[in-house]
Structure 1
Amino acid sequence: MKQLVGFVVGILLPGLILMAGGISNSALAQAWPTKPIRIVIAQAPGSATDVISRVVGNQLSVSLGQPIVIDARPGAGGVLGTEVAARSAPDGYTLFMGNNSTHGSNPAVYAKLPYDAIKDFAPISFVASVPYVLVVDPKLPVSTVKEFIALAKSRPGKMNYASAGNGSTHHFCGELLKSMTGIDIQHIPYKGSGPGIAALLGGEVSMMFSNVADIGSQIKAGKVRALAVTAQRRSSILPDVPTMPEAGLPDFEVTSWFGLLVPAGTPSPVIGRLNAETIKVLRRADVKATLTAQGLEVAPGSPEQFAAHIQSEIARFTQIAKAAGIKAE
């Protein structure tokens, strides 16, 4: 009899535990959130990542009924902030606005990172994308990519470019340009795209690649000169600026993108609710109009779609980095 009881318990107990866990998760999804939420970003305040996080966060705060704060942790080309998010408790109270640097170029060019971009995160939804643009100091006597390349070749090692840090996509773009054209320009890494743009505006560097959302207003004000966007079609807010293919570099295509993630291990019901609420927010006409005005193309989707995008981006960046010999310094 004791053996029979032991056998039955052995069969039923695991199932009962699983059922209890399911009830717990369901209750968690209904009760969550019960306190403020933070969105960690790996870029500086004022960056496109920051602006997008605030636009999305403000509306998510309304739909979730809790305050959402932006926690900016810039530095090391996005590595510092990404590690902070990866090491946070997987309880639904820390979100991360990842991008093409944190989940694209960094894993491709750093030999070792303090986190795994795939295993340490659970995707929520892709948010939006925008092309990069090659911009130069307006005092330079160039108005096209061809003229810039010619000038750089006439001054080997004497010109420089800014980036948002070692391993950032800005850095990746600069090294890709060097590899494709044979120019010799020096890399000057800054702690974020904002400081890099400030360096360009102050005449400390000759050029940089910046995403259109970050530097569109400075281009329109004539503070920097745009030579080409790194996409197959022109930007909606910079219609007069040619694409890299139009400028003579048909294989130069790098897009800046943004998406929400959470630390791996976050309960699936919370991920499901976050995905649903994020899609609702991004489909709102006013939110879409705000982001589109920054040159962004809004494209929310499922966690599975975003996961596939991240994997394909890391693979693509890795392939290009190997071919061009691009490494984080």
Structure 2
Amino acid sequence: MIRISRRAALGIGTTFATGIGARCLFAQANPIRGPITLVVPFAAGGATDIVSRLVAKRLSELIGQSVIVENVAGAGGITGATRIARGAPDGSVLLMGTVSTHAINPLMAAKPPYDPLSDFTPVSLVAVVPNVIVVSQKTPAKDIQGLIAWLKTEPGKHTYGSSGNGTPPHLSGELFKSMAGVSMTHVPYRGGGPAMTDLVGGQIPILFDVLSGAAGFIRDSAVRALGITTKVRSPSFPDLPTVAEQGLANYETYTWNAVFAPPGMPEAMSRYLSARFKEAVDDAEIQKRLRELSADPIGSTPEQLTEQVKSEMAKWRPVIESVGLKQN
């Protein structure tokens, strides 16, 4: 299984295009005519929307064309993604996809409305956002091993919250249960905000959340963070150990943002866009802003994005099946 970590990300730029030097790509004439609409398949104001607007603004400056962000929310991201899967491959419309649109949702659907691989042209992985395990100040656990011991002492008695059924934090919780050999009941919320409110209030003892959403509460000591879910620590919280460091060596989950185009886009156009998105993500100010959101800037080749989607599908398929989230 192929995963892109922070260490791997450092090497992405050196192998940016197969058989084509980065300088040649950067010098390539813009093959896109007219404005670009970057579809965000979620409501405005969320992490994906914020990342998209940051990158779109810089991309517009680089290519000298308008890049308009349009929110097309619905069905957990499926509505917006389906629009791109059926769009024209002329560069006029792109998608800011996520692990939900390109792994979790297709795996959960009885009849997926699109194939995450064949119905899109991969462009670039933009950023990776870790998840985090946090507990209320009333919960006795101080670290991951303490949490596991507490849960094993009272199996099935305790609950954990997430931003909803089938979301990356929910599946992160189920993967944790499986790998740690513990039992706890999932409490789905309509978003990370309501779940965090109940965690702070002590209504639930444990929450699996996206780091960008939990960061402020962690810094204010409103909740206690036990572990980052990526393989290496987050620059936003360098003193917070990973779950893997604390005994679950192969535990790794995160969310990500990646750009996809409609199927059939000419290779010259997809590689031009990939180069431009990487250049945008490499911008010092964009990197600073993304890291303030606890997002790790990446920038990748189309091939690396394809492998990312494949690896996510391979990882989450057995989890979804074991939890019974596959729709009939």
Q: Which of the five TM-score ranges fits, normalised by the shorter chain?
A: 0.7 to 0.9
Among 321, 325, 328, which residue is 1:328 paired with?
325
Q: Deviations over 1:287-316 (max 9, x none)?
A: 122223333332212212211222222223
Matches within 5 A, 1:249-264: 249-264=248-263
Partner of 1:12: none
Give the TM-score of the pair, scaled to structure 1. 0.78
Partner of 1:306: 305
Matches within 5 A, 1:1-329: 32-35=32-35, 37-74=36-73, 76-201=75-200, 203-319=202-318, 321=320, 325-328=322-325
Q: CA deviation at 1:117?
A: 0.8
Structure with larger Rg: 1
- Say which is worse superposed, 137-146 or 51-60, in terms of deviation: 137-146
DSSP 3-state at the match of 1:170: helix
Q: What is the letter of the counterpart of residue 32 of structure 1? A: I
Q: Deviations over 1:63-91 (max 9, x none)?
A: 23344333334554433443343344444
Q: What is the letter of the counterpart of residue 280 of structure 2? A: V
- How many angstroms apart in 1 are the aligned matches of 2:199 and 2:238? 23
DSSP 3-state at the match of 2:300: coil
- How many angstroms apart in 2 are the aligned matches of 1:74 and 1:162? 23
DSSP 3-state at the match of 2:134: strand
The 1:89–1:198 alpha-carbon spacing in structure 2 relative to 1, beyond 3 Å, is farther
- How many angstroms apart in 2 are the aligned matches of 1:194 and 1:149? 25
Q: CA deviation at 1:114?
A: 1.9
Partner of 2:6: none
- Any conservation in 1 of the 2:129–2:254 contact (CA below 8 Å)? yes
Q: What is the letter of the counterpart of residue 131 of structure 1? A: P
- How many angstroms apart in 1 are the aligned matches of 2:152 and 2:173? 15
Q: What is the letter of the counterpart of residue 34 of structure 2? A: T
- Any conservation in 2 of the 1:44–1:193 contact (CA below 8 Å)? no
- How many angstroms apart in 2 are the aligned matches of 1:46 and 1:285? 23
The 1:193–1:273 alpha-carbon spacing in structure 2 relative to 1, beyond 3 Å, is farther
- How many angstroms apart in 2 are the aligned matches of 1:38 and 1:204? 42
- How many angstroms apart in 2 are the aligned matches of 1:320 and 1:48? 24
DSSP 3-state at the match of 1:96: strand
Structure 1 unaligned blocks of 5 or more: 1-28
Q: What is the letter of the counterpart of residue 207 of structure 1? A: I
Q: Deviations over 1:96-135 (max 9, x none)?
A: 1112232233344444422211111111111122322111
Q: CA deviation at 1:147?
A: 2.9
Q: What is the letter of the counterpart of residue 326 of structure 1? A: V
- Any conservation in 2 of the 1:43–1:192 contact (CA below 8 Å)? no
Q: How many residues align?
A: 298
Partner of 2:4: none
Q: Deviations over 1:231-259 (max 9, x none)?
A: 23222111222211232222211232221
Q: Deviations over 1:126-163 (max 9, x none)?
A: 11223221112233233222333344445554533333
- Any conservation in 2 of the 1:77–1:165 contact (CA below 8 Å)? no
Q: CA deviation at 1:32?
A: 3.1
Q: Deviations over 1:257-289 (max 9, x none)?
A: 221111213444432332222122112122122
- Say which is worse superposed, 115-124 or 295-304, in terms of deviation: 295-304
The 1:110–1:143 alpha-carbon spacing in structure 2 relative to 1, beyond 3 Å, is farther
